């Protein structure tokens, strides 16, 4: 998938829907210049190519020479964006506001100052209704410029009001910027490192909070300020594996949209991400009933016009809903049923290859490998884990490490004991190099190295000792990530009680459900 979409123009052409392609043809054919006719032929040729191949493209366009191609591609790219902007202007608040501001500037430059101010007033109303304070700053800036340079017969009250608005919005934008920076940096930290591994990691996270968090949180007001505040605490809690706090701020994130339902259409992407995080929190806390309710709510939302309106929204609702469905099977122990979802997921991931980032592919490969492992399909699990192990090492160090641990366990299950010594050394070296080894991993590696040299009769007492050790570590805040990624307790119990792992996990699910 990574080599199919290497050209920006090719990506854009293949992202278009039928209606968007039709609109582009109508848009461009209004001009009959020779250059425009060439870009239509280039557009058609790119649309028919299954993957970008410049040599094949030039063969299909004999009247375009290689030195000309770059300029014609640039021209086509600009025309496509112009067509899309025209088509989508009424569907997107940001595009509508930009159009208002563009019109106001054009009118001002024509000398029609009062008409320009009238459009700016309308733009301010729309911006305030949709909490677009960054845009409001641009509108007020132009208003102030007009009022300063020209006699518009505005009242002194109006100019004073403008000054107050500018001051208020400046403070708001500063808080939104600081909080959105904090949320972004915490998310980036997680993508690179995964969960906190030690007190040093926690100190690094607290440093972010101290640097970016407003000293007085009582002044945090408005949709965007609260959204980024909740996101920041949500990511902070998740990285620390404080799952109760993670749930609380995930719920606040979604409740904010219930307080401002109109923002579901304005900031759909953040709503979709919030639902994903809330589902993850229910999964981590094993809130089975709430997980089912939230998943059903998310599935219903995914069918609404808001969620199906853009490629990004369709893609991400699919990814998050199917990731949640796999999580549901993992926590219930219904691994075989979960594997039935895999063919459709992989087919859709191929279809959405243009829009899916490598991080999502990495996570799906790990989840699918875990389903196969739980179902006893160890060779299949190894196949999926190899995709991670042989892939890039620039993200999710934690998944890279646990993929190697699970890969080693799969070989252990298959009886490939001749590989175990070299594998265990390799895994230990990798995890130590990545500063990702904790007590639970050390105990696992120690047990595995020791166990493949003893008889089956001696193995059961060793397994029981190992199970007792790791159960004591279950509540340690720096060890919980090991249990979140690799259910080593259930695996060990399946060995001790000589039952399939899925039976062990399913039994725990039934007990927990009954208690709740």
Please list the rounded mean pLDDT of every run of 10 residues in the chain (516 residues): 67 90 86 68 91 89 88 91 84 86 90 89 88 85 82 62 80 88 91 80 89 80 92 94 94 96 92 96 92 96 90 90 95 94 92 81 93 95 93 76 91 87 88 78 83 79 88 70 79 91 91 68
Does residue 309 sit in helix, strand or coil?
coil
Annotate 108-172 with three-state secondary structure: HHCCCHHHHHHHHHHHHHHHHHCCCHHHHHHHHHHHHHHHHHCCCCCCHHHHHHHHHHHHHHHHH
* Residue 459: predicted pLDDT: 87
Token pair recorded at residue 494: 């399946």
Maximum C-alpha span of the chain: 97
Does residue 304 sit in helix, strand or coil?
coil
Residue written as tokens 């599935």? 299
- How far apart CA 29 and CA 37 sit, in angstroms, is 8
- How far apart CA 110 and CA 516 sit, in angstroms, is 70
Tell me which DSSP letter residue 315 carries.
Answer: H
**How would you label 486-505 residue by residue, b for 16+ Cβ within 10 Å and e otherwise?**
bbbbbbbbbbbeeeebbebb
* Closest among 259, 299, 243 to 275, alpha carbons compared: 299
* Residue 1: predicted pLDDT: 41
Q: How far is CA 420 from the centre of its chain?
A: 36
CB 440 within 8 A of CB 479: yes
**Which are the contacts of 477, defined by CB distance < 8 A and separation ≥ 6?**
240, 241, 242
- Domains, the chain, ordered by start: 8-88 (no CATH), 348-515 (1.25.40)
The H or E element containing residue 24 is helix 18-28
Residue written as tokens 């007085």? 216
* Closest among 225, 233, 266 to 251, alpha carbons compared: 233
Global pTM value: 0.79
Compute the Cα dihedral for 374, 379, 383, 389 and give only its sign: positive
Compute the Cα dihedral for 190, 193, 197, 200 and give only its sign: negative
Annotate 40-68 with three-state secondary structure: HHHHHHHHHCCCCCHHHHHHHCCCCCHHH
CB 365 within 8 A of CB 388: yes
CB 361 within 8 A of CB 349: yes
Tell which phi-psi region holds residue 131, choosing left (phi > 0), alpha (psi between -120 and 50) or beta: left
Token pair recorded at residue 497: 């009680």
Q: How many residues does the chain have?
A: 516
**Which are the contacts of 419, defined by CB distance < 8 A and separation ≥ 6?**
411
CB atoms within 10 A of CB 18: 7
CA distances (Å), origin 306, targets 253, 302, 312, 320:
18, 8, 11, 16
Measured at the CA of 121, the angle between CA 119 and CA 122, to 5 degrees, comes to 65
CB 485 within 8 A of CB 402: yes
């Amino acid at each position: 998938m990574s080599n199919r979409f290497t050209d920006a123009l090719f990506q854009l052409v293949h992202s278009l829907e039928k209606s968007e392609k039709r609109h582009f043809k109508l848009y461009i054919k209004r001009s009959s210049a020779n250059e425009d006719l060439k870009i239509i032929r280039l557009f058609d040729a790119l649309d028919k190519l299954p993957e970008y191949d410049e040599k094949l493209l030039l063969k299909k366009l004999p009247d375009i020479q290689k030195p000309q191609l770059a300029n014609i591609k640039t021209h086509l790219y600009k025309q496509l964006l112009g067509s899309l902007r025209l088509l989508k202007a009424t569907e997107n608040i940001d595009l509508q506001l930009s159009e208002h501001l563009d019109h106001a500037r054009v009118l001002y430059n024509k000398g029609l100052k009062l008409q320009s101010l009238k459009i700016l007033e309308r733009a301010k109303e729309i911006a305030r209704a949709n909490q677009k304070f960054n845009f409001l700053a641009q509108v007020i800036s132009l208003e102030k410029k007009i009022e300063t340079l020209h006699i518009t017969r505005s009242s002194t009250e109006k100019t004073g009001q403008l000054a107050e608005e500018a001051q208020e919005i400046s403070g708001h934008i500063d808080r939104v910027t600081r909080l959105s920076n904090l949320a972004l940096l915490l998310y980036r930290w997680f993508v690179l490192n995964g969960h906190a591994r030690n007190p040093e990691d926690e100190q690094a996270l607290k440093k972010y909070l101290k640097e970016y968090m407003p000293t007085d949180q009582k002044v945090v007001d408005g949709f965007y300020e609260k959204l980024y505040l909740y996101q920041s605490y949500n990511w902070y809690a998740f990285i620390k594996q404080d799952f109760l706090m993670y749930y609380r701020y995930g719920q606040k994130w979604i409740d904010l949209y219930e307080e401002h339902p109109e923002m579901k259409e304005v900031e759909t992407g953040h709503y979709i991400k919030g639902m994903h995080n809330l589902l993850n929190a229910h999964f981590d806390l094993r809130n089975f009933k709430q997980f089912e309710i939230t998943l059903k709510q998310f599935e219903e939302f995914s069918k609404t016009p808001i969620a199906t309106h853009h490629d990004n929204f369709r893609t991400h609702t699919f990814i998050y809903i199917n990731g949640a469905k796999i999580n549901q099977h993992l926590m219930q122990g219904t691994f075989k049923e979960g594997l039935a979802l895999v063919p459709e997921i992989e087919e859709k991931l191929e279809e959405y290859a243009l829009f899916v980032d490598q991080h999502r592919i990495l996570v799906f490969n790990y989840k699918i490998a875990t389903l196969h492992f739980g179902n006893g399909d160890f060779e299949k699990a190894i196949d999926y884990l190899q995709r991670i192990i042989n892939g890039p090492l620039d993200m999710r160090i934690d998944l890279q490490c646990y993929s190697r641990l699970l890969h080693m366990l799969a070989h252990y299950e298959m009886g490939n004991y001749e590989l175990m010594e070299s594998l265990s050394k390799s895994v230990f070296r990798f995890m130590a190099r990545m500063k990702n080894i904790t007590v639970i991993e050390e105990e696992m590696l120690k047990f595995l190295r020791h166990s493949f040299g003893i008889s089956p009769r001696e193995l059961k007492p060793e397994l029981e000792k190992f199970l007792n050790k790791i159960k004591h570590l279950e509540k340690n805040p720096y060890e919980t990530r090991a249990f979140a990624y690799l259910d080593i307790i259930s695996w060990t119990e399946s060995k001790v009680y000589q039952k399939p792992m899925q039976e062990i996990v399913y039994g725990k699910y039934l007990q927990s459900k009954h208690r709740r």
